[in-house]
């Protein structure tokens, strides 16, 4: 499968290839199905992809969803399968709000250090948990720690997954302070950036405090928000 970036425009989801050589971003969006609402806004050509990893988390994910809703921003959540089974209702809420739910392994395992069987279990168990929660199976796989090697790539491909990492690391997980998180994102962002943040895996108070300023600034600079599907 090929990774695509989608923009949610009203109820219409328009998908375009990230690789301009495969499908130029200047190409017109595909026609909307007859039952869909009319497209009201232009497909954003200046955009970022917001990604949140390691959830869902009962304390932090709802707060992040509320902030995203306030700023009308869509994001992609790379979820840990064992967390999905604890809070399938949160995965459902994320999906129903128009965000993308994708695979981040079952236990946040480093995929470079697994047997073929363990690799498959990490990925397919998470697929099944997400499928049970939202009714569709993720095509994107984000390897924990960004850990990739030729074996990881080959095994992911064999399972039909596209590996997706990031281009801007907020390093929010190091808890450097709200200002540092905001500045790290805003200094490094450009159109097409895939921004890494976290809604689970630890105390995300600083991420939540930083997010409104990040979203406000990105919108003021003219960025739209696209989500990932694969």
In the complex, the residues that contact Zn ion under the rule CB under 5 A are 53-54, 144
Per annotation, catalytic residue among 87, 99, 104, 198: 198
Give the residue with the Cβ less far from Zn ion, 138 or 144: 144
- Closest separation in Å from C-beta 53 to Zn ion: 4
CA–CA dist 12, 10 (Å, integer): 5
CA–CA dist 30, 188 (Å, integer): 32
- Closest separation in Å from C-beta 58 to Zn ion: 18
β-partners of residue 35 are none
Give the residue with the Cβ less far from Zn ion, 122 or 224: 122
- Closest separation in Å from C-beta 88 to Zn ion: 19
Is 198 part of the annotated catalytic residue set?
A: yes
Is 199 part of the annotated catalytic residue set?
A: no
Nearest to 188 by CA among 212, 147, 221: 221
CA–CA dist 1, 187 (Å, integer): 32
- Closest separation in Å from C-beta 54 to Zn ion: 4
Per annotation, catalytic residue among 53, 57, 162, 199: 53
At 227 the three-state DSSP class reads strand
Residue in the shown chain whose Cβ atom is closest to Zn ion: 53
4's enclosing H/E stretch is strand 4-9
Give the residue with the Cβ less far from Zn ion, 54 or 199: 54
Q: Is residue 121 within 8 Å of residue 134, measured between CB atoms? A: no
Q: How far lies 64's CA from each of 18, 22, 69, 123, 208, in Å?
A: 26, 33, 9, 25, 6
Residues 6+ apart with CB under 8 A from 17: 2, 4, 5, 23
Residues tagged active-site: 53, 198
């Amino acid at each position: 499968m090929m990774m695509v970036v989608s923009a949610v425009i009203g109820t219409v989801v328009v998908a375009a290839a990230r690789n301009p050589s495969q499908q130029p971003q200047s190409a017109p969006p595909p026609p909307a199905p007859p039952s869909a609402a009319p497209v009201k806004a232009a497909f954003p050509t200046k955009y970022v992809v917001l990604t949140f990893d390691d959830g869902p988390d009962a304390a932090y994910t709802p707060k992040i969803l509320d902030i995203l809703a306030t700023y009308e921003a869509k994001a992609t959540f790379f979820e840990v399968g064992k967390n999905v089974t604890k809070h399938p209702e949160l995965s459902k809420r994320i999906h129903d709000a128009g965000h993308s739910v994708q695979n981040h392994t079952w236990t946040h395992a480093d995929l470079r250090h697994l047997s073929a069987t363990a690799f498959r279990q990490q990925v397919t168990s998470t697929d099944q948990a997400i499928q049970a929660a939202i009714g569709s199976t993720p095509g994107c796989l984000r390897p924990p720690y960004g850990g990739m090697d030729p074996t990881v790539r080959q095994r992911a491909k064999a399972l039909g997954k596209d590996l997706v990492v990031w281009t801007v690391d907020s390093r929010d997980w190091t808890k450097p302070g709200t200002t540092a998180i905001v500045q790290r994102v805003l200094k490094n962002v450009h159109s097409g950036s895939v921004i890494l943040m976290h809604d689970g895996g630890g105390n995300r108070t600083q991420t939540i405090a930083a997010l409104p300023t990040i979203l406000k600034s990105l919108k003021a600079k003219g960025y739209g928000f696209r989500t990932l599907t694969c």
